[in-house]
Amino acid sequence: MPYANGELHLGHFAGTFLPADIYVRYKRLRGEDIIHIGGSDEHGVPITIRAEKEGITPQAVVDRYHALHVEALNKAHIALDNYSRTSLPVHHETTQEFFLDMEAKGIFVKKTEQQFYDAEAKMFLSDRYITGTCPVCGNPEANGDQCENCGTYLSPTELINPKSKLTGATPILRETLHWYFPLGRYQKQLEAFIDAKEKSGEWRQNVINYSRTWLKQGLADRAITRDLSWGVKVPLHTDEAKGKVIYVWYDAVLGYISSTKEWATKLGEREKWRQYWLAADTRLIHFIGKDNVVFHALMFPAMLMAKNETGNADESSGEAASETQSKYILPDNVPASEFMNIEGKKFSKSRGYAIYMLDFLSKFPADTLRYTIAMNYPESRDTDFSWKDFQNRVNGELADTLGNFVKRVVDFTYARFDGIVPDADTVLLQGEREQTLESEVAAKVKIISEAYETFSIRTGVFETMQVAGLANKYFNDEAPWKSIKENPEQCKKTIFVALNLCSRIAMLFYPVIPETAQKIFRMIGVDAKSVRWDDAST
């Protein structure tokens, strides 16, 4: 759920939206029940800071950027079932219900703490309202919560020479009261959770490593309230709660639940969300970037564990919910990606070094972006987007390998067989070359299927293009432009096989380049809605 304080760039697309979309499209071709949920994260200090800079309201900021997010995702053919907003009433209600439930169970801890205060602006300063020098790398423009240069998570008091972003004044420390989520109380449960995921071998090692680093350091209590006016209000009618909102780290991840609720309501089945979030056989999968691992692999699971408790929380681990009570599912997998850089440099919105999706899509077809990013998907290491690589992949692979094969087959069919699939001799279809080709394609389909099942997007796309390469080779070796004169039956067989390959390749490419796949289906007269993944094997 990206922040609605700026446009979506290729980093968002590569790390989150494209791999999720490919996976969802693949699963639907397999006939599985799957919903693709997301939304804009519309609270938090970055949004209020932008609003203040522009002299507009936070609502105006998120309205603008949410619309731009939706436009970019639609143009990129990202097929979400629901793309929600955390500023909607359904989200506020969901977040407040979680808060009240945990408050009633005595899970939260209240603490009085020292927080920076801007005397000129007469307000407490949240971490993002403070800037200063990073104590780790010396970056003079570090934020109060994290240094963008070295990635270190910080607290405002760790900054050297802190300054208020509002007035430029040096802030002073004052006491304020906040609610804390006792993350450390769930340390043992989370360790067991991560242990089980590591033993399963299904989680990426980078996710395990990031999680273990946090666990090894020991999980500390984490503030869940802030002194702000923009956000989900703390739903308590007390003096202590006045002027406080729920911290965005707690609020944002609940957007997956509220977005599912909104989706169900749009269907006219308000309670249908329960069939997913409260069903033990549901698999919850988070496609995210590595900078969000801690929130999805540790913090959100801890929140769900707390929600699933009954009665007053035990100080060590919490009392488990009864077996008869519906419980929220925990994440089944968190296939976090590494980062995608541009021409060897890291994306940086603050420094203006980014390629924005709408800019890209105003100049190039969506499928060219989808294919290039998928072939460079940062699955296990940081990867790089370069314009030279983009050019080579579009011209050398999409055009020369895939496009060339389909065009030659279709053009030949129309020129020599009036656009009708020729009847082929069944004996010829069982020829040695055809049997070898069939074995090779079947082996590739198996690899592609296994790749997508394990979130290995790059492998899946690479092997799909290999199938197109096999088809090209077959067509060249068969040379139907010669056999049409010398052996017409041989030519019919070749075109029959080639058209079948066009259909199978279109289906295999559908999760990655859906617009191109649909064009191929139309060219060869196949109803795209009728195809299933298993068709690729025959």
Quick: pLDDT tens for 474-528: 999 999 999 999 999 999 999 999 999 999 999 999 999 999 999 999 999 999 8
Task: Report if residue 380 sits inside a domain.
Answer: no
In CATH, what number is assigned to the domain containing residue 523? 1.10.730.10
Task: Report if residue 356 sits inside a domain.
Answer: no
Residue with structure tokens 């097929």?
79
In CATH, what number is assigned to the domain containing residue 35? 3.40.50.620
Predicted pLDDT at 49:
86
Question: Do 82 and 110 belong together in one domain?
Answer: no
Task: Report if residue 372 sits inside a domain.
Answer: no
- Report how many domains make up the chain: 3
Task: Report if residue 4 sits inside a domain.
Answer: no
Task: Report if residue 408 sits inside a domain.
Answer: yes
Can you list the positions of beta strands (E) in 445-532?
Answer: none
Q: How far apart are CA 491 and CA 489, in angstroms?
A: 5
Question: Do 124 and 35 belong together in one domain?
Answer: no
Structure confidence at residue 320 as a pLDDT band (50, 70, 90) = very low
Q: How far apart are CA 259 and CA 80, in angstroms?
A: 11
Q: How far apart are CA 153 and CA 497, in angstroms?
A: 57
This prediction's pTM: 0.91
Question: Do 423 and 472 belong together in one domain?
Answer: yes
Domain that holds residue 130: 106-244
pLDDT(323) > 70: no
Q: DSSP assignment of 191-247, as one string?
A: HHHHHHHHHHT-S-HHHHHHHHHHHHH-PPPEE-EEE-SSSPBP---SGGGTTEEE-
For 51, residues 6+ apart whose C-beta sits below 8 A from its C-beta are 57, 58, 60, 61, 230
Question: Do 207 and 285 belong together in one domain?
Answer: no
pLDDT digits (tens, 9 = 90+) for 344-362: 888 777 677 899 999 999 9
Question: Do 111 and 228 belong together in one domain?
Answer: yes
Question: Do 328 and 202 belong together in one domain?
Answer: no
Question: Do 303 and 163 belong together in one domain?
Answer: no
Question: Do 209 and 276 belong together in one domain?
Answer: no
Question: Do 227 and 270 belong together in one domain?
Answer: no
Question: Do 150 and 86 belong together in one domain?
Answer: no
Q: How far apart are CA 65 and CA 72, in angstroms?
A: 10
Q: How far apart are CA 164 and CA 495, in angstroms?
A: 71
Question: Do 34 and 83 belong together in one domain?
Answer: yes
For 508, residues 6+ apart whose C-beta sits below 8 A from its C-beta are 445, 448, 464, 467, 536
Predicted pLDDT at 166:
87
Phi/psi of residue 130, nearest 5 degrees: -120, 140
Q: What angle do CA 230, 299, 3 make, to 5 degrees?
A: 40
Structure confidence at residue 164 as a pLDDT band (50, 70, 90) = very high
Task: Report if residue 152 sits inside a domain.
Answer: yes
Task: Report if residue 469 sits inside a domain.
Answer: yes
Question: Do 197 and 273 belong together in one domain?
Answer: no
pLDDT over 90 for what percent of the chain?
84
Task: Report if residue 357 sits inside a domain.
Answer: no
Q: Which amino acid would we find at residue 326? A: S
- How large is the angle between the packed helices 205-217 and 187-200, nearest 10 degrees? 160
